[in-house]
Structure 1
Amino acid sequence: MKRSLAVAAVVLLGACSPGDPPAAAPAPSSAAPAPSSAAPLPSSAAPPPASVAPPPADCVTTTLDGLDLAERVGQLLMIGVAVNAPSGAGDTLRRYHVGGAFLRGRSTHTAAQLKSDIAGLQKGSAVPMLVAVDQEGGSVQTLKGPDFPRLPSAFRLGPGSPATLRDTTRASARRLTGIGVNLNLAPVADTVPKSIGEGNPPIGAFRREFGSDPARVAAAIRTVVPASQDAGVLTTLKHFPGLGRVRVNTDVSTGATDNVATVDDPYMAPFKAGIDAGSAAVMISSARYPKLDPAAVAAFSKPIITGLLRERIGFDGLVISDDLGAARAVTGVSPAQRATRFVAAGGDMVLTIVASDAAPMAGALINKAETDQSFRSRVDDAARHVLQTKEKAGLLRCG
């Protein structure tokens, strides 16, 4: 923030009007009068204006300024690592300065084992990583060891009391933060209509939704977000702008399409509720929404990410992709193009569960940034969003 310098005004005293009579001459004095301390100094002797030091840069800016292009690009990648053997991807994470690690798979390891493994991953990072996990509950729960009790599904928790939902979420988040996880890829903010129910493969079939009424889902999201984040684990609203009406799972098939969603879709209410509650991140789906953008899936859509999420809804946090590695929905696009198209559309962090994608994705992002100034600015903006999220997670240390 710039500060203006106050400029002292010089006031001229004793000016005569042209019509005033001349003043009488003063009586002679035997001694010259002492100079007045209020008399103005000659301009040549005026003291210089006091210098004002610029304000110190904030921690995010300081960190960003210390990163070269390759390191900034690295912040835009979240790479999948095996939850039971995360060190196997350590070389990839270090080589490409990766900003986040996603613990993929399922684990029954103890909290002590997991904490040691995650600490080992963080040791090699110049900038501490976001460490993410899918710990929704129900059928989507990565950690199921003795220190991680089975969580009820959102479908079961949604109709229950807000107190139970809050306490369940808070207890789970405390277990996660205790081992070094700082980002949960949850909650699911999708609404599945009763008329579709389990006929919705990605959400309804696994009972991952909080309900069939977007207003009730929004109420649940308003409870979950602060309960998790106040306990130390940031939340990710998924899968924007909604997967509740599709009839195809983007993980295993192409052609997932929501022909209903518009900018005024009531099914976006849970996402807006989560954003208003302060959710750190929003995940973008890989389905198509022809009424929002007839040309591209949501993950590659500037009208959806920038136009709708950023500008119309006003979200200024971290925008992360759904998996752009193994997901069948994007296999028609090369890994390099998946990364550049997502970032160009307004995304910040590219998630891939395929560790070998780091090389082509990082290379493509660097090459495009070196030849396209507007894209370079977009990379810098995305890196800033990642670092702001890390600051919110307590990962940045300055001074």
Structure 2
Amino acid sequence: MRRRHLLALAPAAALAACTAEDPAGPGSDAGGDPTGGSGGSDGGSSAGPTTEEPDGSAAAPSAAERLLEDLSPRELAGQLVLVGIAAGDEIPPEVLQDHHSGGIFLLQVWESAQQVEDTVRTARELSSAALPPLLAVDQEGGQVRMLRGDAARETASAEELGAEGPDAVAEAYTSIGEDLAARGLQIALSPVADVVDPDLGDSNEPVGGLDRGFGTDPEQVADCVAAAVEALEGQGIGATLKHFPGLGRVEQNTDFSAEGIEDPTTGADDPFLESFRAGIDAGARLVMMSSAIYPRIEPDVPAMFSSAAIEELLRGRLGFDGPVVTDDIGAAEAVADVPVPERATRLLEAGGDAVLTADPSLTGRLVDAIEEWAGLGEEQERRVRESAGRMLALKESLGLL
């Protein structure tokens, strides 16, 4: 088994009691509803200036770079909103045709392969041929499997897989990748990289209570996360690490509570971050931010809105330069007091890239907010273009452009 140098142990602090994601929750992972990424990959780079060839000449712009220059302000804004579609629901045409959403993710339980494939086909038909949608789903194994029945094979929970070791993880995530690829999807909103506090165990509702974590030892979890990412990549499926900087020490589920979601222990030098570092090194395409609060990183600010968490820690110290996305901001109680427009603009201000909403009816308001914010000045316009560039580069790396 590959060994990794663990991050230095942070000074001891009081641990938060932790809870799990409610099985009946509304979120994408995005709360881990079981009923219902410089990543080391090419998808980790943003569409920036053209590079130089070895002879000093300018390299030809990539497909993502060319497209970035051609998109309208609304198309750029739309790329930064990913929309959840519940099983049995139709995709509202305006989501992709008028608001130019960057893609969709599947919510709740999809038992029929045909239903998934029909939804995938509809998403592509509603989108511009030049701007295809990113298609994602929560598929972790165990209780959190949005694809079931003949849509995907059953796989064990992360807790069970972690106890067996990286080889078992690799086998399970290979099958997950095969099933997603067969349905026409490109992104798994997994694996969970959170390390569960051993003193909490099942009392950690978001992860431990639903058997979603690979374990309580940072190095063991890191090996399993890397195995999962590499297995997905082997099937052409992009992995999403979640929920940075970790939900293993919080009490309540951020989908259903704005209380008990503070982690006073996790800091910049915490060994519990090692699993995220391992996933990044293995080539994870995206990183999903937690909506919990981490006072040792930035007091009183949910991680998804924290520049200290995103720019300084995730990008600066861990070296991730791919798309950074939110957990659900559409139906989650943790952000219910934040005005809908700010749920998008605060992420962008903090250095993040795209919001996930489990409520499709919010799509237009979110895209409006991003488009208007980009018009406020050069810095805001630059940030939107930077994030859109990352999303387009991801699509190009997955063969969509």
- TM-score computed with the length of structure 1 as normaliser: 0.84
Match of 1:73 in 2: 77
1:224 to 218, 225, 228: 228
Query: How far did 1:118 drift?
Result: 0.6
In 2, distance between residues paired with 1:92 and 1:83? 17
Q: Which amino acid aligns with 2:207?
A: I
Query: How far did 1:113 drift?
Result: 3.1
SS in 2 for 1:119: helix
Match of 2:277 in 1: 272
Matches within 5 A, 1:121-160: 121-126=123-128, 127-160=131-164
For the pair 1:318 / 2:323, whether they are aligned, the reply is yes
For the pair 1:94 / 2:97, whether they are aligned, the reply is yes
CA contact (8 A) 1:343 1:378 kept: yes
Match of 2:299 in 1: 294
For the pair 1:383 / 2:388, whether they are aligned, the reply is yes
Structure with larger Rg = 1
In 1, distance between residues paired with 2:181 and 2:60? 31
2:368 to 359, 363, 366: 363
Q: Which amino acid aligns with 1:59?
A: A
Per-residue CA distance 1:365-386 (angstroms, 9 max, x = gap): 1111111211110000000110
For the pair 1:60 / 2:55, whether they are aligned, the reply is no
In 1, distance between residues paired with 2:87 and 2:394? 22
RMSD: 1.7
Per-residue CA distance 1:88-119 (angstroms, 9 max, x = gap): 3233222100001011111111x233212211
Per-residue CA distance 1:285-341 (angstroms, 9 max, x = gap): 000000100141101111111111111211011101000110000001011111000
Q: Which amino acid aligns with 1:103?
A: L
1:106 to 93, 97, 109: 109
Q: How many residues are aligned here? A: 348
Q: Which amino acid aligns with 2:224?
A: A
In 2, distance between residues paired with 1:220 and 1:98? 33
Per-residue CA distance 1:169-198 (angstroms, 9 max, x = gap): 111211111111111110000011221001
CA contact (8 A) 1:81 1:89 kept: no
Query: How far did 1:58 drift?
Result: 1.2
2:267 to 259, 262, 268: 262
Query: How far did 1:356 drift?
Result: 1.2
CA contact (8 A) 2:225 2:275 kept: yes
In 2, distance between residues paired with 1:197 and 1:53? 56
Match of 1:15 in 2: none
Match of 1:245 in 2: 249
Per-residue CA distance 1:64-104 (angstroms, 9 max, x = gap): 1110111000000001112333x332332221000010111
- TM-score computed with the length of structure 2 as normaliser: 0.84
Q: % of aligned pairs identical?
A: 39
SS in 2 for 1:322: strand
Per-residue CA distance 1:250-292 (angstroms, 9 max, x = gap): 0100130100011001000000000001100000000000010
Q: Which amino acid aligns with 1:158?
A: G
In 2, distance between residues paired with 1:361 and 1:103? 19
Matches within 5 A, 1:165-184: 165-184=169-188
Larger RCO: 1 or 2 (CA < 8 Å, sep 6+): 2
SS in 1 for 2:328: coil
In 2, distance between residues paired with 1:70 and 1:91? 13
Match of 1:327 in 2: 332
Q: Which amino acid aligns with 1:113?
A: Q
CA contact (8 A) 2:165 2:224 kept: no
2:311 to 290, 306, 313: 306
In 2, distance between residues paired with 1:138 and 1:320? 24
Per-residue CA distance 1:149-179 (angstroms, 9 max, x = gap): 2211000000214322212111121111111
Distance 1:2 1:339, change over 3 A: closer
Match of 2:6 in 1: none
Moved over 6 A (4+): none
Match of 1:20 in 2: none
Distance 1:116 1:292, change over 3 A: same
Query: How far did 1:54 drift?
Result: 5.7
For the pair 1:116 / 2:121, whether they are aligned, the reply is no
Q: Which amino acid aligns with 2:135?
A: V
SS in 2 for 1:194: coil
CA contact (8 A) 1:339 1:364 kept: yes
Which segments of 5 or more consecutive residues in structure 2 lack a partner in the other structure? 1-49
